[in-house]
Every structure is written in C-alpha cells, then in structure tokens.
C-alpha cells in the first residue's frame, strides 16, 4: 500500500470513529464505543504506515484537515446538524490549505 493509500484509509477510518463517538452518547452505549476504539486504533496504525513514505507534518495536516471536512459533511448529511457561514468558510480554508500544500510544497513527495 502506498503512503497516500494508507493515509486515505486512515482518514476514512478516523471519520467513522468520530461518527461513532457521537453515537456512543458519551461512552454510555457499548457497541458504538467499542467500534469507535477499533476504528481509531486502525486509523492510527494506517497513519503510522503512511509515515514510512511522507513527512509527519504533511501526513498529519492532511489527516486532520481532510478528516475535519469529511466529518463536517457527515454531521450535516447523516447527523442532520447545521453549519453556519463562518464554519463553511473555515472548512473552505482547510481545503485550500491542503490543496496548496499538495500542489506547491516541495516537502510533499509525489
């Protein structure tokens, strides 16, 4: 698996874990809590695998930034929560930052 493949899988698993965190009702529901732990552990394992082929700062920025964007989308479409204009603007800036980093930074290995 490439570094980017491991990172993409880590992001997806982290987003699932975070969604289960919401569903765990502050750790009072066993199955969502157990699922959250398993998805977070798997996510961190894959993030560690991605670090074999990319710098920590780049991997973590992408993991965190894209995780925020996907989590926000899930919160709107699945959890039926709303985002106001400043929240959407902030998420847009995160996306712009990830794009700039991946297209212009010489630190990112392609």
> Could you identify the residue written with the tokens 């700039």?
100
Residues 80-105 have pLDDT tens digits of 999 999 999 999 999 999 889 888 88
Domain membership of residue 110 (yes or no) is no
Element (H, E) at 24: none
Domain membership of residue 98 (yes or no) is yes
8-13 average pLDDT score: 98
Domain membership of residue 109 (yes or no) is no
CA separation for the pair 59, 53 (Å, rounded)? 9
Q: What is the pLDDT of residue 104?
A: 87
Q: What is the pLDDT of residue 103?
A: 86
Domain membership of residue 15 (yes or no) is yes
State which residues form the domain around 87. Answer: 3-104
**In sequence order, what are the residues at sequence separation of 6 or more whose Cβ sits closer than 8 angstroms to the Cβ of residue 73?**
none
Tokens of 82: 């709303």
Q: What are phi and psi of 101, to 5 degrees?
A: -60, -45
Res. 109 pLDDT band, cuts 50 70 90:
low
**In sequence order, what are the residues at sequence separation of 6 or more whose Cβ sits closer than 8 angstroms to the Cβ of residue 38?**
17
Output 19 or 58, whichever has higher pLDDT: 19
Is residue 53 over pLDDT 80?
A: yes
Domain membership of residue 33 (yes or no) is yes
């Amino acid at each position: 698996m490439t570094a980017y493949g491991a990172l993409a899988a880590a992001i997806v698993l982290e987003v699932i874990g975070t969604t289960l965190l919401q569903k765990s009702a502050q750790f009072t529901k066993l199955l969502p809590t157990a699922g959250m732990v398993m998805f977070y552990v798997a996510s961190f394992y894959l993030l560690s695998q991605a670090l074999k082929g990319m710098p920590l700062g780049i991997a973590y920025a992408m993991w965190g930034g894209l995780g925020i964007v996907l989590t926000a989308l899930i919160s709107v479409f699945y959890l039926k929560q709303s985002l106001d204009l400043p929240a959407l603007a902030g998420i847009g800036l995160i996306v712009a930052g990830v794009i700039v980093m991946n297209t212009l930074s010489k630190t990112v290995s392609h």
